[in-house]
Amino acid sequence: MRKIPVSDLQAGMIPAQTIYDSKGTILIARGISLTQSYINRLRKFSIREVLITSNDEEKQFASIFSPMAEKAASHAQNLISELSTHRTVNIEKTSFKIEQVIYAALERAPLQPYLEMMSQNELLYTHSLRTAILSVNLGLAKGYDYLNLDFLATCALLHDCGMGDIFCEDDNTHAFEGFIKIRNNTSLEMLTALVCLQHHERFDGQGTPLGFYKYQITEFSRLIAVADYYERLVSLQNNTPRQAVFKLAAGGGTMFDPDMVKLFETTLAG
């Protein structure tokens, strides 16, 4: 590893550490290959030097996280491009920040076994990543800081980790199973477990598994519930994005927190 002044950086070099601006927003995540636009971005934020991995061995060690996270990161990148082609959710302007937040979350060591487990099930894997992307987009619209976004992405990535081999959202036990699974892993925060437990609760108290209502459901769970439902309608139940938006709006106040539905509407294109 060596320190290189920003003026000498070249495309293709790989930073050995994540670079943040003064507010804690990620500029470039560790292990992501630099492009000219990334370098310009670093100049714009007056970053002077960057620690760069120097040889293949270090590259392997410091570059993209685990192979599992690398696979998930590239899959996430494709999904973001795909979502922007829907032209329903306005994701183009925020895609850079979303990518950075998702990459940083995927890098977390306690997530690796879950990523491996989820990658065995294509539907679950894609659904989790897409829900995380939409949730982070909502989180950005809500004005969360980087730490909260990182947390939100982790919660969204793991929200369905209680699912067994068969991906079935109607199965009422997966929320509780996921809660127990994350609770038993002390390296993950309790809030993540709670989001797992509450993501199928309804704002009117008619949800599962425990029938929580209104603000007994944590803010992250209320936000992820909206992203999760939209994602399911579009990719699993073959609704058009437009139909999904109408169905989601109809659920405000009963299924979902009306404020979260309004927040979702602010992220719509056009």
- As measured in angstroms, the least distance from the Cβ of 167 to another protein is 24
CB of 215 to another protein, least distance (A): 8
Q: How many CB atoms lie within 10 A of CB 249?
A: 14
Q: In the complex, what is the shortest distance from the CB of residue 214 to another protein, in angstroms, rounded to a whole number?
A: 10
Say how many C-beta atoms besides its own lie within 10 A of residue 37's C-beta: 9
187 binds another protein (CB under 8 A): no
| Residue 198 Cβ vs another protein, minimum distance, rounded to whole Å | 9
Residue 15 CB partners (closer than 8 Å, separation 6+): 28, 30, 31, 32, 34, 50, 51, 52, 53
- Residue 142's Cβ-side half-sphere holds a number of Cα atoms within 13 Å equal to 23
Q: How many CB atoms lie within 10 A of CB 267?
A: 18
Question: For another protein, what does the binding mask look like between residues 215 and 244, x meaning CB under 8 A?
Answer: xx-x--------------------------
Q: CB-wise, 26 or 155, nearer to another protein?
A: 155
Rounded least distance, CB 212 to another protein, Å: 6
Residue in 85, 186, 187, 238 binding another protein, rule: CB under 8 A: 186
Of the candidates 11, 180, 250, 268, which one interacts with another protein according to CB under 8 A? 180
What gap in Å lies between CA 204 and CA 72, rounded to an integer?
35
Q: Judged by CB under 8 A, does residue 141 bind another protein?
A: no
Number of H helices and E strands in the chain, helices first, is 12, 4
Binding letters toward another protein, positions 39-58, x by CB under 8 A: --------------------
Q: What part of residues 199-218 is at the interface with another protein (CB under 8 A)?
A: 210, 212, 215-216, 218
Taking the complex as a whole, how short is the minimal distance between the CB of residue 216 and another protein, in angstroms?
A: 4
If you compute the radius of gyration of the chain from its CA atoms, what whole number of angstroms results?
19
- Should residue 193 be labelled a site residue for another protein when binding is judged by CB under 8 A? yes
Count of residues engaged in binding another protein, rule: CB under 8 A: 15
By CB under 8 A, is residue 176 in contact with another protein? Answer: yes
Close Cβ partners of 5 (under 8 Å, ≥ 6 residues apart): 48, 49
Q: Is 192 in the site for another protein (CB under 8 A)?
A: no
CA angle 7, 8, 10 (to 5 degrees): 110
- Give CA–CA dist 135/118, Å, rounded: 18
DSSP, collapsed to helix, strand or coil, labels residue 213 as coil
What is the binding site for another protein (CB under 8 A)? 176, 180, 183, 186, 189-191, 193-194, 197, 210, 212, 215-216, 218
